[in-house]
Amino acid sequence: MKNVAKKLVIARLNIKVKKLLSIHDITIVAVTGSIGKTSTKHAIGQVLGATRKVRYSQDSYNTDIGIPLSLFGLKVPAKLWNVGSWKKIFSAIDTEIANYGYDTVVLEMADDELTMMRKVLQIIHPDISVITAVAPVHMLALKDMKTVVHNNWQIAASAKTIVYNADNQALRKKAFKTGTVGFGMSYGTVRFGKISRSKSGYLKAEIHVGKYKKVVQTHMLGRQNLYSLLAAATVAHELDIPFSAICFELTQVKSVAGRMNLLEGINTTRIIDDSYNASPDAVVAALDTLAEFKGRKIAVLGSMNELGAEAITEHQKVGAYAAKVVDMLVTVGKQADEYLAPAATHAGLKPEQVKVFHTPYEAGHYLKNILQKGDTVLIKGSQDGVYTEEVARIILSDKLDSNEQLVRQSAVWKRRKKKSFAL
């Protein structure tokens, strides 16, 4: 019954999308990639907003239902297959079609759902596609890196212009034809150089766009986060937004919740909240950022899901890498316990420097009792069965509202977490 309902909903959404695009002249920017899609979507949306009327979803909507809803600025109903909820949504869609107030829409595409995305792209034809990065994530579905690169390029290739991360060699090899524009720290038309960390903890860098260059102070913590700004600057340049406007907007872009946010913790501590999700490359990049902070360095690392046959090896690599950076390692989840933590002790951390927990709640309350002034805590982990944002919630300063600062704090998510850990 649910499958029938889903097909009916998707079919009707597609009809509405076709009608919208036939009536209104809308520039569509599609963002795909293994990591950084949502952050890049937000950065593009904010930078383009300097001169355009831009719509982009606050959520990670990248499916055959979520993408159409993003076009209309609507959310998936809490009761997914409730007839009444969908009646209200379709009524709202009709109103949107009649009174559409946007000339640009930034959408997110799931790189691990190529068949689904091909169907979506038969309806929605992007003007510009962006590939944020390729990395070994979703490996249960994608199997190997060759498939990861292929899928991302296939999704992006539907656009007139492909904007891609030129620092990735595999993507550079793909970008041999006209209509491709690269960005990066080392390669590409749009680049960042002279990167340094200011006293605030955030990075500043000199951006190069063609013959223009300027130093900009960003609100980004990690060098990996600068790629979202580079993608945004590249898209803006392709759409003829003035360089001065691009630079100003780059200084205004802030990280999305759960993606390398610097937050105040209890007892005058710092939290680097990167709890939205985790992949090996992203964890290593986050650890590199942690290494640049003064004081005691603590990493809370959760299990990394969907790594398939690479799960053991990748957890071990991360554990060994963490041992080079942290003064204390706290793990959450079965795979982090079985593979990541032992690898860290084998690489040099003493047993008393490694604490293993089954739930984020246990880890959070442990840290709450031992954190000291000047500590910096990096928090990172996958979603299902890990949810390390709950560690951040427990050690967050009372001055901050966890519902505003952290990911997955809605009533629906809280119920799901309680069920996951049988609380």
pLDDT tens sequence across 207-249: 999 889 999 999 999 999 999 999 999 999 999 999 999 999 9
Residue 274 pairs in a beta bridge with 380
Residue 302 pairs in a beta bridge with 332
Q: Which residues contact 319 (CB under 8 A, 6 or more apart)?
A: 329, 339, 340, 341, 342, 343, 344, 346, 347
Q: Which residues contact 196 (CB under 8 A, 6 or more apart)?
A: 203, 204, 205
CB 201 within 8 A of CB 247: no
DSSP, collapsed to helix, strand or coil, labels residue 191 as strand
CB 47 within 8 A of CB 238: no
Orientation of helix 37-48 relative to helix 243-252, angle to 10°: 130
CB 135 within 8 A of CB 35: yes
CB 124 within 8 A of CB 136: no
| Phi, then psi, of 213 in degrees rounded to 5 | -155, 150
Report residue 126 CA to chain centroid gap.
20
Residue 29 pairs in a beta bridge with 106, 128
| Phi, then psi, of 221 in degrees rounded to 5 | -90, -45
- The pLDDT assigned to 147 comes to 86
CB 348 within 8 A of CB 369: no
CB 132 within 8 A of CB 62: no
Report residue 83 CA to chain centroid gap.
32
- The pLDDT assigned to 104 comes to 98
- The pLDDT assigned to 140 comes to 57
Instruction: State the architecture of 2-252 in CATH terms.
Output: 3-Layer(aba) Sandwich (3.40)
Q: Is 357 exposed, middle or buried (0-12, 13-18, 19+ CB in 10 A)?
A: buried
**Which ranges in the chain are annotated with CATH 3.90.190.20?**
261-420
Q: Which residues contact 255 (CB under 8 A, 6 or more apart)?
A: 39, 219, 220, 221, 225, 261
Residue 377 pairs in a beta bridge with 271, 298
Q: Where are the alpha helices (DSSP H) in 267-327?
A: 280-291, 311-323
Rg (CA), the chain: 22
**Single-letter amino acid, residue 388:** T
| Phi, then psi, of 372 in degrees rounded to 5 | -125, 160
- Report how far residue 329's alpha carbon sits from residue 335's, in angstroms, rounded to the nearest whole number: 14
- Structural fold of domain 261-420: Protein-Tyrosine Phosphatase; Chain A (3.90.190)
Q: What are the structure tokens assigned to 294, written together?
A: 């003064």
Of 164, 67, 42, the C-alpha closest to 122 is 67
pLDDT tens sequence across 120-170: 999 999 999 999 998 776 555 656 888 888 899 999 999 999 999 999 999
**Which ranges in the chain are annotated with CATH 3.40.1190.10?**
2-252
- Report how far residue 376's alpha carbon sits from residue 153's, in angstroms, rounded to the nearest whole number: 38
Residue 327 pairs in a beta bridge with none
DSSP H or E run through 71: helix 66-71
- The pLDDT assigned to 142 comes to 58
Residues of the chain predicted below pLDDT 50? 1
- Report how far residue 178's alpha carbon sits from residue 190's, in angstroms, rounded to the nearest whole number: 16
Sign of CA dihedral 108, 335, 307, 421: negative
